[in-house]
Amino acid sequence: MSRRIIGLMLVKNESQRYLRRVLDQYKGLCDTIVILDDGSTDNTVDICREYTPHVHESPESLWATNEVHQRRRLWDTLQDHADDGDWVLYLDADETIADTRALRQLLPPLEAHGDIDAVGFNLYDMWDENHYRDDEYWSGHSRDWIFLVKYHKGREFQWPDKALHCGRFPTNAVGQYYPSKIPVQHWGWADPEDRKKKYERYMEADPEGTFGWLDQYRSILDVNPRLVRFTHTGTGGGGRGGRPGTGSKDRKKNRKRR
C-alpha cells in the first residue's frame, strides 16, 4: 500500500495570485495539507482554510529576516501529521506539477526501492502562461530540484544559518533521490508586475547578493529574455527518469538558483 502524501506550503499575501490553482492540485494529490502563513495582510488565510484545517499563522512576516525560522516551524508540524516513511510534498504557492499522473505512477515502485528517499523534478520558470525562460540565469529545467521527500520520524533535522534562500527542506532530509524529470511550473515570474515587485524585494533584502545570485536578480527585468514554449507529453511515471542522485549535489545547485 502506498504511503500517504503530506503537502506543506509557506504562504504570504497569495489570494490574488495562484493560490487556488496550487491548492486545487494539492487537494487532489495530498492526504493532508499543512500551511504556515507568514503574516499575510489579505485573505490568504481564509482561502487556505477552505482546503485544510491545518493552517498556522505567524503574527509577523519573517521573510528576508529569518526565513529559516518559518521553514523550520512548518517542517516541525510533521511530528503531528506524518508517519515514518510518508512522503512530504513541498511546493510554493506559485508552483504546480505539470504531470500529476506520472507522479502517482512513480511512487509505488520507488517505495519498493528502499534506498530512494526523495524525488527530483525539473523546474520551469514560466515568463507567461505558455513560455518559460531559458538562459544562463534561468535554467532550473535542466537540472534536478527536490520537492518530494520521505519523512524520517525521529531524525534530528538540521537547517542552514541563512536569513534568505535557506531552502525548503532540512539539509539532512535527502540522501539518494530519483530524478523523475517531471516538470514543475513556477508561475511567480509570469506576470510583469510580479517580476518588478520581486526584483525590488530581492534588491532591498539582499543588495550584495549575500544569500542569492546578484546577476540573476538583475536579470529579472531583462527586456527581451530568451523564451521557449512549454510543451509536455507525459513522462510515464517511473519509466525513464534517470539514474539516482544524491541530495547534497542537488542542494548545492539549488542554492544558486533561488
Separation between Cα atoms, residue 182 and residue 49, nearest integer Å: 29
Q: What does the pLDDT read at residue 63? A: 81
Torsion of CA 34, 48, 211, 183, to 10 degrees: 80
Q: What is the DSSP string of 196-228?
A: HHHHHHHHHH-TT-SSS-HHHHHHTT-SS--EE
3-state SS class at 33? strand
Amino acid letter, 69: H
Q: Which long-range contacts (CB under 8 A, 24 or more apart) does 168-173 make?
A: 168/8, 168/10, 168/71, 168/90, 168/92, 169/75, 169/90, 170/72, 170/75, 171/251, 173/118, 173/149, 173/247
Residue 4 is given by DSSP the state P
Q: Are 29 and 21 in contact (CB under 8 A)?
A: no
Q: 124 and 186 in contact (C-beta within 8 Å)?
A: yes
In this prediction the pTM is 0.90
Which spans in the chain are helix H?
A: 19-29, 44-49, 67-76, 78-81, 100-112, 192-205, 214-219, 247-257
At residue 244, the pLDDT reads: 65
**Which pLDDT belongs to residue 236?**
43
Q: For the chain, give every domain's residue range.
A: 5-257
From first to last of its 258 residues, what are the pLDDT tens digits of the chain? 468 999 999 999 999 999 999 999 999 999 999 999 999 999 999 999 999 999 999 989 998 789 999 999 999 999 999 999 999 999 999 999 999 999 999 999 998 877 899 999 999 999 999 999 999 999 999 999 999 999 999 999 999 988 888 999 999 999 999 999 999 999 999 999 999 999 999 999 999 999 999 999 999 999 999 999 999 876 544 334 555 676 644 443 444 444
Backbone angles phi, psi at 36, to 5 degrees: -115, 125
**C-alpha cell recorded at residue 151:** 519523512
Is residue 83 within a helix (H) or strand (E), and if so which, with residue range? none
